[in-house]
Amino acid sequence: MNLELLQIFLNIVLIFTALYLICIAAFTFGLFNLKERFHSVNKNNLIKVSVLIAARNEEKNIEKLLESLKKQSFSKELFEVIIVNDHSTDNTDEIINDFINKNKELDVKLLKAEKTGKKHAISQALHSAINELVIVTDADCVLNDLWIESIVGFYQEEKCKMILAPVLLSPAENLFEKMQVLEHLSLIGSTAGSASIGFPVMCNGANMAYERKAALEVEKFRKDFDIPSGDDMFLLEQFVKRYGHNNVKFLLSKSAVVKTKTCKTIKDFFRQRRRWVSKTKSYTSWKVIVTALIVLFFNLSIISLLVSAFFVPALWSIYILLTLLKFFIDLPLLKNITNFMNQGSLLKWVLPLEIIYPFYVVFTALSGTIFTKLKSENGKWTQSN
Q: What is the pLDDT of residues 135-162, one digit of tens each?
A: 999 999 999 999 999 999 999 999 999 9
pLDDT at 285: 87
Does residue 374 have a pLDDT over 80? Answer: no
Crossing angle of helices 266-278 and 350-366, in 10° steps, is 60
Distance CA 225, CA 227 (A): 5
Distance CA 341, CA 191 (A): 14
Spatial contact of 43 and 127, defined as CB atoms under 8 Å apart:
no
Q: Is 175 exposed, middle or buried (0-12, 13-18, 19+ CB in 10 A)?
A: exposed
What's the pLDDT band for 384 if we cut at 50, 70, 90?
very low
Numbers of helices and strands, H then E, in the chain: 12, 12
Spatial contact of 76 and 106, defined as CB atoms under 8 Å apart:
yes
Q: Which long-range contacts (CB under 8 A, 24 or more apart) does 94-102 make?
A: 95/59, 95/62, 95/63, 96/55, 96/62, 96/66, 99/63, 99/66
Does residue 229 have a pLDDT over 80? Answer: no
Give the C-alpha distances (Å, rounded to integers) separating 106 from 140, 213, 316, 359: 19, 24, 62, 47
Q: Residue 119: enclosing H or E segment and its boundaries?
A: helix 118-128
- In 3D space, the residue among 338, 180, 348, 188 whose CA is nearest the CA of residue 264 turns out to be 180
271 vs 382 pLDDT, higher one: 271
Distance CA 10, CA 2 (A): 12
pTM (predicted TM-score)? 0.91
Q: Residue 195 contacts by C-beta under 8 Å, 6 or more apart in sequence?
A: 30, 164, 248, 249, 250
- In 3D space, the residue among 52, 261, 248 whose CA is nearest the CA of residue 164 turns out to be 248
Mean pLDDT for the chain overall: 91
Does residue 21 have a pLDDT over 50? Answer: yes
Q: Residue 241: enclosing H or E segment and its boundaries?
A: helix 231-243
Distance CA 288, CA 309 (A): 32
Does residue 164 have a pLDDT over 60? Answer: yes
Distance CA 103, CA 380 (A): 31
Q: Residue 305 contacts by C-beta under 8 Å, 6 or more apart in sequence?
A: 13, 315, 318, 319, 322
Share of the chain above pLDDT 90, in %: 79
Does residue 201 have a pLDDT over 80? Answer: yes
Mean pLDDT value of segment 300-323: 94
pLDDT at 26: 97
What's the pLDDT band for 377 if we cut at 50, 70, 90?
very low
Q: How many CA atoms lie within 13 A of 314 on its CB side?
A: 5
Cis bond upstream, residue 358 (ω within 30): no
Give the C-alpha distances (Å, rounded to integers) separating 282 from 176, 196, 208: 30, 25, 21
Spatial contact of 108 and 79, defined as CB atoms under 8 Å apart:
no
Spatial contact of 305 and 13, defined as CB atoms under 8 Å apart:
yes
Spatial contact of 165 and 257, defined as CB atoms under 8 Å apart:
yes
